[in-house]
């Protein structure tokens, strides 16, 4: 049970961090939606990737899930393909940088 709680806590913390990054980046690009939309975007990205990875796996899953997430960003923020792509790339870069500086939640097992 402790393992489930640790995984759930890690998921929630990662979701919040992702949502904060998405919120800040979309604000920098002039979007007016609130933090709830950023949480939905982060959750959508996670769910989309998990489902596609389960059925397809590998790098193809990342490509398919990336395209699906662009569509989700377009729908949530009412933006076009180019803007959603630029925002997604900036989010990916910033979350990669944040990932370097934050310690892993579970640590080495």
Domain ranges in the chain are 44-88
**How confident is the model at residue 94, as a pLDDT?**
92
Residue 109 in this model has a pLDDT that exceeds 90: no
Question: Residue 67, class by beta-carbon neighbours within 10 Å (0-12 exposed, 13-18 middle, 19+ buried)?
Answer: middle
**Higher-confidence residue: 9 or 19?**
19
The model carries a pTM of: 0.83
Read off the pLDDT of residues 30-84 as tens digits, 9 standing for 90 and up.
Answer: 999 999 999 999 999 888 888 888 888 888 888 888 899 999 999 999 999 999 9
């Amino acid at each position: 049970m402790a393992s489930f709680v640790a995984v759930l806590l890690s998921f929630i913390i990662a979701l919040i961090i992702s949502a904060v990054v998405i919120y800040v980046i979309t604000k920098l690009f002039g979007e007016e939606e609130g933090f709830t939309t950023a949480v939905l975007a982060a959750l959508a990205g996670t769910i989309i990737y998990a489902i596609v990875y389960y059925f397809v796996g590998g790098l193809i899953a990342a490509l398919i899930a990336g395209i699906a997430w662009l569509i989700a960003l377009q729908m949530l923020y009412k933006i076009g393909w180019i803007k959603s792509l630029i925002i997604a790339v900036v989010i990916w870069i910033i979350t990669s940088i944040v990932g370097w500086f934050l310690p892993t939640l579970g640590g080495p097992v």
